[in-house]
Amino acid sequence: MRKLNPYFGEFGGQYVPEILIPALDQLEQAFIDAQNDPSFQQEFQDLLKNYAGRPTALTLCRNLTPRYSYPFISKT
């Protein structure tokens, strides 16, 4: 049973196999619970503020660079 509107404007709906409906119901309930959980929201806001969108570090792979005579750089 849907608790949230599955439509986006005039579009949307769910076109999934019937066997997936119980899993989607569980996912929907977990989403609703997370929306109403202050500790989850605080952690989520902290991650958005301090982690999401930050520049990703680039690291020179020192062991591969001399071996192949080409600078290998890893994005971590």
Domain that holds residue 34: 18-75
Q: Cα(25)–Cα(4) distance, rounded to whole angstroms? A: 10
Q: Residue 9 domain-assigned?
A: no
Q: Cα(28)–Cα(4) distance, rounded to whole angstroms? A: 8
Q: What is the pLDDT of residues 39-76, one digit of tens each?
A: 999 999 998 888 887 777 888 888 887 888 888 888 87
Q: Residue 48 domain-assigned?
A: yes
Helical H segments across the chain, by residue range: 21-35, 38-50, 64-68
* Rounded (10°) CA dihedral 45, 46, 47, 50: 130
Q: Residue 12 domain-assigned?
A: no
Query: Residue 1's pLDDT is what?
Result: 62
Count structural domains, the chain.
Answer: 1
Q: Residue 5 domain-assigned?
A: no
**Which residue type does 70 have?**
Y
Q: Residue 57 domain-assigned?
A: yes
Average pLDDT of the residues of the chain: 85
Q: Residue 2 domain-assigned?
A: no
Residue pair 40/14 in contact (Cβ under 8 Å)? The answer is: no
Report for 2-6, 26-30, 65-69: range of highest mean pLDDT: 26-30
The answer to whether the pTM exceeds 0.75 is no
**DSSP label at 76?**
-
